[in-house]
Amino acid sequence: MSGTDTHDDAVISRQVRRLESLLEEKGIVGGDTVDEVIDGFLAGASPVNGAKVTARAWTDPAYRERLLADGTAAVGELGFSSGGVQKQRLRVVENTAGTHNIIVCTLCSCYPLRLLGPSPGWYKSEAYRSRVVRDPRGVLADFGVTLPESVDITVWDSSAETRYMVLPRRPAGTDDLSEEELAGLVTRNGLIGTAVL
């Protein structure tokens, strides 16, 4: 498995197309309206948002405490939401010297879209969703991440009600970087936990 693995979305795509067709046939909504809603929903979704949250937590200890205590409220302070159409609770889990976190949704591909952007194909794949709970070290190795055996790996399973985001460890030697420069170090995979940053 790697960040470039693909996923066959044929079944889901057919279901979505069928639902759109039914909505149009019943006169409930037109195709243009569906496209506008989807475009509007995705317009503000980006891993840049999660990176900004991370950089703030790295530079503001009080904000970091609020983020870990109530992720939903803390990202709201910066103008972000964790959900989309329906509200979800955001729980932020912090990587430390002794713990590495990784997120998954074993049922589908739930994750904080507004903070991480559209989910990568590998995140939605059956291979990732089933394997990461059984063999997180192996999955991390596939992404090029090798952690000492002394580091515990915790896998967090997202749901329709609760989304997770990983707060990566701040890299050493970054004390002189601005919040904006720190945000530039953070990747989507780091926010999922398949990278250290």
pLDDT for the residue numbered 102: 98
Q: Which of 105, 119, 125, 158 is catalytic?
A: 105
Q: How many domains does the chain have?
A: 1
DSSP one-letter string for 92-115: EEE--SSEEEEEE-SSS----HHH
pLDDT for the residue numbered 35: 67
The answer to whether residue 146 is domain-embedded is yes
- Cβ–Cβ < 8 Å for 141, 21: no
The answer to whether residue 36 is domain-embedded is no
109 among annotated binding-site residues: yes
pLDDT for the residue numbered 18: 77
The answer to whether residue 15 is domain-embedded is no
The helix (H) or strand (E) run that includes residue 44 is none
119 among annotated binding-site residues: no
Q: Is 164 helix (H, G, I), strand (E, B) or coil?
A: strand
pLDDT for the residue numbered 7: 38
pLDDT for the residue numbered 152: 98
Query: Is residue 109 annotated as a catalytic residue, yes or no?
Result: yes
The answer to whether residue 5 is domain-embedded is no
The answer to whether residue 166 is domain-embedded is yes
Query: Is residue 13 annotated as a catalytic residue, yes or no?
Result: no
The answer to whether residue 11 is domain-embedded is no
The answer to whether residue 61 is domain-embedded is yes
108 among annotated binding-site residues: yes
pLDDT for the residue numbered 109: 80
21 among annotated binding-site residues: no
Residue with tokens 């002794």: 98
Model-level pTM? 0.81
pLDDT for the residue numbered 6: 38
The answer to whether residue 138 is domain-embedded is yes
Range of the domain at 104: 45-192
How many other CB atoms are found less than 10 A from the CB of residue 153?
17
Query: Is residue 158 annotated as a catalytic residue, yes or no?
Result: no
How many other CB atoms are found less than 10 A from the CB of residue 142?
19
Q: Which of 46, 81, 82, 109 is catalytic?
A: 109
CATH number for 158: 3.90.330.10
What is the full per-residue pLDDT of the chain (197 aa) written as tens digits? 444 333 344 555 566 677 777 777 888 877 677 666 666 556 678 999 999 999 999 999 999 999 999 999 999 999 987 655 456 899 999 999 999 999 999 988 888 988 999 889 999 999 999 999 999 999 999 999 999 999 999 999 998 889 999 999 999 999 999 999 999 999 999 999 999 99
Query: Is residue 110 annotated as a catalytic residue, yes or no?
Result: yes
The b-or-e profile of 97-113 (16+ CB within 10 A means b, else e) is eeebbbbbbeeebbbbb
Q: Which of 46, 110, 119, 125 is catalytic?
A: 110
Q: What is the CA radius of gyration of the chain?
A: 18
With vertex at residue 115, the alpha carbon angle to CA 87 and CA 177, rounded to the nearest 5 degrees, is 145
